[in-house]
Amino acid sequence: MTPRQCVASSAGALRRAACSLWAAIAFGLLAPVHAQAPAPAAKDATAVVEVGRFSAEREGAGPPAGWKPLTFRNIERHTRYALVRDGGTIVLRADAEASASGLVREQTIDLKAFPIIEWRWRAGNVLSKADVKTKAGDDYPVRLYITFAHDANSISLTDRAARAIYGQLPPRAAINYIWDTRSPVGTTVPNAYTDRVRMIVVESGSARTGEWITYRRNLAEDFRKAFGYEAPLVSGIAVMTDTDNTGEQATAWFGDIRFVAP
């Protein structure tokens, strides 16, 4: 069940509570309480955790190593992803036509050791109807989605209800780095469906479409500013190009993604 379906549902208080949490994972991304073992502590200033080394993949192959498709019930049109050659390296291309799906990697990362996230992307166009502040505009040509795990003491009764209904535990929180159409860079707002997800605008408008842009963000600091407490373990990373709300078309490319020690 997608966030839109959950919001529309009225089948009982317990189900509505679980639905609000389902919406909190913004399009159905689930993660376990603890995934694989956390990345090892940094030994030096150059230590990194590669989570999306698309440049090391083979052109035309299936999903990148360690990644799997992320699709949603009752959304029949899926964004198409392919590993392609661009500028002498391999990148992940996304093509969306009134569609929504992503690629996700479940991986536990300790931000105390690796607080910096680095990635690059290129958007072929922006969406004329996109607007981070509305449900109808909750589409983006590129988004990088990071989920955060519960610890043993942070699982609420509502979280447990969601797990009982859906068989998996929603993340404790999530951050989306997005390319919006109209909100200024630096805007940080709750997701239009839930305040468990924070949307951080790192690019806005059409001025830089067609250009490869590299980002380096202190995710631990962004989380602290967005939620007011220290970041728990990262539980998963996803990339997505989605246009199902706006009904528009978008083409985008994602480069390598990694976490870096300070």
The whole-number pLDDT of residue 154 equals: 62
Query: What is the average pLDDT score of the chain?
Result: 82
How much is the pLDDT for 128?
Answer: 97
Beta-bridge partner residues of 122: 253
Q: What is the pLDDT of residues 201-248, one digit of tens each?
A: 999 999 999 999 999 999 999 999 999 999 999 999 999 999 999 999
Report how far apart, in Å, the C-alpha atoms of 239 and of each of 1, 9, 70, 87, 165 are.
20, 27, 9, 21, 26
Torsion angle of C-alpha atoms 56, 45, 111, 239, degrees rounded to 10: -20
What does the angle CA 192 – CA 81 – CA 110 come to, to the nearest 5 degrees?
60
Tokens of 155: 């699982």
Predicted local distance difference test score (pLDDT) of residue 156: 55
- Other Cβ atoms closer than 10 A to 187: 16
Q: How far apart are CA 236 and CA 216, in angstroms?
A: 18
Collapse the DSSP code of 245 into the 3-class scheme (helix H, G, I; strand E, B; otherwise coil) and give the result.
coil
pLDDT tens digits along 121-180: 999 999 999 999 999 999 999 999 999 985 656 655 555 544 444 445 555 689 999 999
First-to-final CA distance of the chain: 39
- In three-state secondary structure terms, 226 is helix
> Which residues, 6+ apart, have CB-to-CB distance to 68 below 8 Å?
103, 104, 105
Structure-model confidence comparison of residues 100 and 3, the more confident one: 100
What domains sit in the chain, N to C, each tagged with a CATH number? 3-260 (2.60.120.260)
Q: Do 130 and 246 meet the contact criterion of CB atoms below 8 Å apart?
A: yes
Q: E strands along the chain, which residues?
A: 48-52, 68-70, 80-86, 89-97, 102-109, 116-123, 140-148, 173-180, 188-190, 197-204, 213-218, 234-242, 249-260
Find where tokens 């379906």 sit: 5
Instruction: Write out the H or E segment, with its range, that includes residue 223.
Output: helix 219-227
pLDDT grade for 74, boundaries at 50, 70 and 90: confident
DSSP 44-113: STT-EEEEE-GGGS-TT-SSPTT-EEE--TT-----EEEEEEETTEEEEEEEEES---EEEEEEEE-TTT
**Where does the pLDDT of residue 46 fall: very low under 50, low under 70, confident under 90, or very high at 90 and above?**
low
With contact defined as beta carbons under 8 Å apart, do 99 and 243 qualify? yes
